[in-house]
């Protein structure tokens, strides 16, 4: 079976780690970002020769962008088996200060982007009779967030629910849908968002006393993307150092 994946928000951070890990595992990867130059730099970083990578501009708030990306992938490789909905807008605005424009922008990127991706790519996969949808949730969507804004937390909680809906909808047609919910990761975006003194407080509140490893999350994506992961459907995988236990 072909192993072709598309990762949104792959221009940097966790998305770049995921795209790189999929490529190392033998997947051909469409590296997408809302900025084409970032997608191109990320693709070159993953494979300087450009073998097995395809940089694409994809604004996840636009369904037509997903449709165009799918067409580009099909033209290049003839199929698509894996979608990783990773693109996200992270804001830490206090809840009483969130305005309507910022609220809508966060939900449009995080939640609507996941919906459109699952609709467009999921329909293609269902028609082919096989696929893996992997959505990035967050600890914030489970515990209400500690360092992120209410709009971000709400969007991530909704993504976990949306994942279950697509798992039920597409499971009978060979397409699984699962979510991964990381806690605080050792990423530049986390260090930029959270002041050092607050980040240290957060780390001290994590039972394992450390930030998460993005490469482990990327490895988990590869595992869920595998052909033999077909009995994992509608699940939410916690990677949070014990901050949230069920």
Look up 152 and say whether it is catalytic: yes
Whole-number Cα distances in Å, 162 to 45, 63, 137, 147: 32, 17, 10, 23
Query: How many Cα atoms within 13 Å fall on the side-chain side of residue 107?
Result: 13
Tokens of 168: 């039920």
The residue assigned the tokens 């605005």 is: 93
- Candidates 152, 160, 166, 190; catalytic one: 152
- State the Cα–Cα distance between residues 232 and 35, nearest whole angstrom: 33
Q: Report the interhelical angle of 150-170 vs 100-107 (nearest 10°).
A: 30
Smallest CA-to-CA distance from 159 within 88, 74, 63 is with 88
Q: Nearest Cα to 3, choosing from 21, 56, 216?
A: 21
- Residues with catalytic function: 152
């Amino acid at each position: 079976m072909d192993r072709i994946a598309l990762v949104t928000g792959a221009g940097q951070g966790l998305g770049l780690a995921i795209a790189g890990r999929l490529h190392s595992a033998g997947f051909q990867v469409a590296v997408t970002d809302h900025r084409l130059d970032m997608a191109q730099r990320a693709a070159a970083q993953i494979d300087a020769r450009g073998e097995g990578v395809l940089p694409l501009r994809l604004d996840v708030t636009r369904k037509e962008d997903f449709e165009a990306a799918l067409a580009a992938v099909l033209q290049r490789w003839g199929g698509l088996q894996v979608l990783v909905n990773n693109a996200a807008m992270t804001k830490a605005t206090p809840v009483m200060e969130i305005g309507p424009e910022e609220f809508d922008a966060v939900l449009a990127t995080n939640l609507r982007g996941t919906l459109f991706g699952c609709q467009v790519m999921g329909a293609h996969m269902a028609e082919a009779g096989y696929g893996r949808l992997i959505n990035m949730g967050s600890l914030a969507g489970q515990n209400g967030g500690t360092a992120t804004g209410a709009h971000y937390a709400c969007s991530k909680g909704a993504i976990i629910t949306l994942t279950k809906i697509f798992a039920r909808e597409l499971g009978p047609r060979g397409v699984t849908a699962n979510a991964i919910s990381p806690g605080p990761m050792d990423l530049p975006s986390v260090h930029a968002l959270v002041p050092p003194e607050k980040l240290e407080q957060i780390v001290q509140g994590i039972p394992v006393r450390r930030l998460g490893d993005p490469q482990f999350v990327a490895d988990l994506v590869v595992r869920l993307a595998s052909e033999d992961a077909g009995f994992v459907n509608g699940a939410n995988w916690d990677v949070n150092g014990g901050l949230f236990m069920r």
